[in-house]
Amino acid sequence: MKNTSLAIGIDVGGTNTKYGIVNHRGDILEEGEMKTAEFPTIESFVDGLYDHLKSILDKYNKDCNIKGIGIGAPNGNHFTGCIENATNLHWKGIVPIAKLVGEKFKLPCVLNNDAKAAALGELNFGAAKGMKDFIMITLGTGVGSGIVVNGGLLYGDKGNAGELGHTIIRPGGRLHWSTGLKGTLESYCSATGIAITAVEMKKDSKEDTLLKNYDDKDITSKVVYECATKGDALAKKVYEFTGQILGEALSNFVMFSSPEAIILFGGVIQAGDLLMAPTKKAMEEHLLITFKGQVQLLFSELRFADAAILGASSLVWG
C-alpha cells in the first residue's frame, strides 16, 4: 500500500540544476544537483536529469506514490509549460520543458518561473503559511517576484504577472544591462545592482573605504556585505541607498495588492538588518496612511539551499 505521497522538485538555474524528492511536510528526503550548461540541448538535459533521478525514483516508487514533478525555471510559463526566451539559460527561444520531462519520466509535470515557485514554497512551508495575500521578492543576481492573491498565485492574462523587478522606480535612471529599460528595481536592488552602486559610490567618494582595496571588477554584493559588517561607512551607505529604493518600490506594490506581508528572499538578504532597516523605513514613509504599519516585511523562512527544491516541489501540490 502506497500511503506516502511524494513530489519531485527541480530548480533549473543558469549554473546549477538542483533536484530533490519531497514529502507533504516539506522534508527533502534526497537531493542532488547537476551542471545546467553541460547539456547543450534541452533533450540531452532531460536525459541527464533522468539518469540522475533514476535511482531515487526506483527507491521510492516501491512504497510511495510519486505524484508528479514540479520545475521552477527562469522565464518558465505555467500556462504553456515552456521556458520562454530566458536570457540566462543557454537554450534559446521556446523550450517545451514540461512536456519533455513529463514524457521521459511518465509523470505529470508542472512548470513555473523560479520566483513563483519560491512563493509557493513559502506559502506551503515557510513564513507565508496560512496567508492569502503576500508578495515574495527574490533578490539574487536579478530581482524576481511571486505574487499571491486570494490564496493563489497571480498569473494575469498571459501568465506573466509579477515582473516586479522590471518596474520603474527611478525614471530615466540607471540603464539595465540586458532589458534596455532605465531606472528599474532590478538595476538597483539585485546583487548586480548593489555591486554597480558600490563601484559608483567608491568612484564619487573622497572617504576612506575598504572598497578601495578592490578593483572595480572584483566588487560583488558579497564584498560590499563583508566591508559593511567590518563597519565600513561607504559600504553601509550602499545598503542605505539600496534599501531606500527597495522600500519605495515595495510601497508601490503594497498600494497595488494590499498584501498581509512582503517576504524577501535570495542571496542579497544575507545582509540582514543592513538592508531591512532602511527598506522598512522607506516603505513606511511612502505608504498612504491606510497602509502604514499594516504590512509585515519579513525575510524568508526557507533555508536558502532548500528553497529552490521546496518551491519547485510545491508546484505539484498546487
Contact residues: a second copy, CB under 8 A: 84-85, 132-133, 147, 149-150, 152, 154-164, 166-171, 179, 181, 248, 251-253, 255-260, 286, 288-291, 294-295
Q: How far is the CB of 84 from a second copy (least distance, A)?
A: 8
Q: How far is the CB of 236 from a second copy (least distance, A)?
A: 21
Q: Is 131 exposed, middle or buried (0-12, 13-18, 19+ CB in 10 A)?
A: middle
Return the number of the residue (65 or 178) whose C-beta is nearest a second copy: 178
Q: How far is the CB of 35 from a second copy (least distance, A)?
A: 28
Q: Which residue has the cell 525614471?
A: 171
CA-to-CA separations, 287 to 154, 167, 280, 282, in angstroms, rounded: 23, 17, 11, 9
Q: Coil, strand, or helix at residue 162?
A: coil
Question: How far is the C-alpha of 265 from the C-alpha of 303, rounded, in Å?
Answer: 10
Q: How far is the CB of 62 from a second copy (least distance, A)?
A: 40
CA proximity to 236, closest of 265, 266, 210: 210
Question: How far is the C-alpha of 98 from the C-alpha of 77, rounded, in Å?
Answer: 10
Question: How far is the C-alpha of 43 from the C-alpha of 101, rounded, in Å?
Answer: 9
Q: How far is the CB of 137 from a second copy (least distance, A)?
A: 12
Return the number of the residue (20 or 165) whose C-beta is nearest a second copy: 165
Q: How far is the CB of 66 from a second copy (least distance, A)?
A: 30
Return the number of the residue (1 or 289) whose C-beta is nearest a second copy: 289
Q: Name the CA radius of gyration of the chain, rounded.
A: 20
Return the number of the residue (102 or 162) whose C-beta is nearest a second copy: 162
Question: How far is the C-alpha of 102 from the C-alpha of 106, rounded, in Å?
Answer: 5
Q: How far is the CB of 241 from a second copy (least distance, A)?
A: 12
Listing DSSP states for 254-306 in one string gives: HHHH--SEEEEESGGGGGTHHHHHHHHHHHHHHS-GGGTTTSEEEE--S-HHH
Question: How far is the C-alpha of 63 from the C-alpha of 227, rounded, in Å?
Answer: 51
